[in-house]
Structure 1
């Protein structure tokens, strides 16, 4: 078989014991196996990988391109969630489409060179910002399709029932191509009604849902229960995700098991956002501050689909970030005190295969016929990728090389004899 490209001598994540070639033709994986015959020399690009690890790209399930890179416009003193929402809301009043596009591009390009090939971005819609963010991010989705596939989730950050005109704007965004709809019940005057209205929108447009949910440390009540109930009622299992859910970090093991079984039974997935949740939670604790990060690894054990994601970059919610999902996996492993190889492998899966499952990506992975989305990591196994923060060296998107990063060279001194 003739190939456009052959990646030689790599280790596929989960199959590290064997070294294989991957043949690419017309943007898709055409063959996987040892010593593939590329046919006559000269017509095929061949890349030697020297046994390095291959993944089908990192999958970013929760990021905010529209309000990234605004730390220089905000003054943060308390570091609380309330302050972050207020600062971002004030900054948003001055946003233009060009401004959103430029900041989003800066963040998106960071994600691309960190090996992200699929992304779900949340975009705020309300009467103050209108559809500026939606239009700007839609343009980014179009302009960067050569490197990353983007889903746009429109949502009301500052409430829905208390913010007249927002619901109509969400409808307009869905009519104009939004991929899914989100919610933020904890900022609403009537959280339960917001959840109901978001499900109504999802059913009307036959799209998935992704809520920001239960973002505090009081475990005495949760909107999670209502989301699970409505997911089952509307037959939306496998089509609903919830992000943050920091309340889960305050449950004991028995309570967490009950919540995990409820989530798994309803088919509701969970995205944990380590950097933001660690930064914002527990601010009022006089000592022994809680981490405030939902225990995704324990939820996995109860059958819940979980991912780890970036959330915000360089803004009041998270005043740092390089868009490395491998860094998020490493950070989570540190927070959750995970050190065994199989635990670190699970962390990698939560930014790759499990994240793809959360987003219902049917063409993700190393299967013949799937898009040739391939990222080369400078390591030889999944645990090392997380423990050593292995650098992404190269990526292809549908067979086309989207970035390369040369390996480090150590310049040793020349010893004289």
Structure 2
């Protein structure tokens, strides 16, 4: 049976990218019910809801919570949704790398682009309006297939989503290949020094390329449960004098989560002093890490609370979605936030901040949200509170990027006892 209260539902018209001048009756995370006026892609005003008439292009958000739109600070669009074509065995990081490497000779630019586009649009539909993706520099005669694919997808989706690209350079990739990726339009230099024969030397090489090109870096860092592996500390000391125009991000940082307290204190202080942003990636690292600890299995997370307490910008992302590194994932930042509450013991507000405001800060994006003067990148989700939104993750959502409606989703449920609340 359908709800008899259909008139109370907002208009789920097809998202056409058109501007939305006013959001009516939106509930903010602090419980206030407001009207939000938008102009030129920014929030022009936030005032108590006054019951003003809803214009043709406005949205009535009665029953919706209005939040800063999520940002995804660490994705792998070139790998996303490849699980079904690879059918990898379930396992740890080593087996995931082996499965991906075995599959790479079969990758084509068109195939990578098709999967990447689907994955990005799934994230957009769930509320993500900005995304940073690492892209592998592949082994073989054409190492830039993934780069060309993601540069194409970035251009195709430029009107609805901000996409940043990081060249993920294995130690076998020479300097010319990294420079070629930057020449094609990649934004940042990345790699995984902890997986190379000489981590310190590899880190210096990649930082040198970034410095020469005047770009930022985002390094896969210490993705192992080894308390002696502290590439993060080396990175922090190496970039203390970098210009603000070349931001530095360290992703994963799993080893710090199992280090002794005195080591954690020392490293977090160095990271805070250097201004390095840290991205934790709960779903993938909880899946990959700790498989050799069948009893008292450690959590595959960095020292999230210690980093926050030290004043470090801590963001969170999904990392891999439905590929050899993570067979699960729904491209929804709320999934990441829930895992932060459960596994990192953050409050719901802290967890959501990690996938929205802090993620945007790590990505060097301007502040957004239902705040006067902020960019109008907004997520409206049918819920009574932030906690309700995280717990239920309802599909009913409106997504605005720079004040334009770029995604709208609606769900209906019935039971034999009637329509659920």
TM-score, normalization: structure 1?
A: 0.88
Structure 2 gaps of 5+ residues are: 1-18
* Alignment: residue pair count: 399
Structure 2 match to 1:404: 408
Is residue 244 of structure 1 aligned with residue 258 of structure 2?
Answer: no
SS of the equivalent of 1:31 reads strand
Is residue 387 of structure 1 aligned with residue 366 of structure 2?
Answer: no
Structure 2 match to 1:297: 305
Is residue 52 of structure 1 aligned with residue 60 of structure 2?
Answer: no
Q: 1:344 aligns with which of 345, 348, 359?
A: 348
SS of the equivalent of 2:380 reads strand
Q: Judge conservation of contact 2:368–2:378 (CA < 8 Å) in 1.
A: no
SS of the equivalent of 1:232 reads coil
- Separation in 2, partners of 1:173, 1:67: 17
Q: 1:273 aligns with which of 261, 274, 281?
A: 281
Q: Judge conservation of contact 1:377–1:393 (CA < 8 Å) in 2.
A: yes
Q: 1:33 aligns with which of 47, 51, 65?
A: 47
- Separation in 1, partners of 2:79, 2:380: 30
Q: Judge conservation of contact 2:168–2:190 (CA < 8 Å) in 1.
A: yes
1:44–1:36 Cα change, 3 Å: farther
Dislocated runs of 4+, deviation >4 Å: 35-38, 41-44, 235-238, 367-370, 411-414
1:117 is displaced (CA, Å) by 0.6
1:324-351 residue CA offsets vs partner (Å, 9 max, x unmatched): 111111022112345xxxx111001000
SS of the equivalent of 1:211 reads strand
TM-score, normalization: structure 2?
A: 0.88
1:264 is displaced (CA, Å) by 0.8
Structure 1 match to 2:99: 87
Q: Judge conservation of contact 2:367–2:374 (CA < 8 Å) in 1.
A: yes
Q: 2:188 aligns with which of 176, 180, 185?
A: 180
Q: Judge conservation of contact 1:4–1:44 (CA < 8 Å) in 2.
A: no
Is residue 319 of structure 1 aligned with residue 327 of structure 2?
Answer: yes
1:92 is displaced (CA, Å) by 1.4
Structure 2 match to 1:212: 220
Structure 1 gaps of 5+ residues are: none
1:249-305 residue CA offsets vs partner (Å, 9 max, x unmatched): 212333322222121111111111111111111111242221222232332111111
1:152 is displaced (CA, Å) by 0.7
Which structure has more RCO (C-alpha within 8 Å, separation ≥ 6)?
Answer: 2
1:175 is displaced (CA, Å) by 2.2
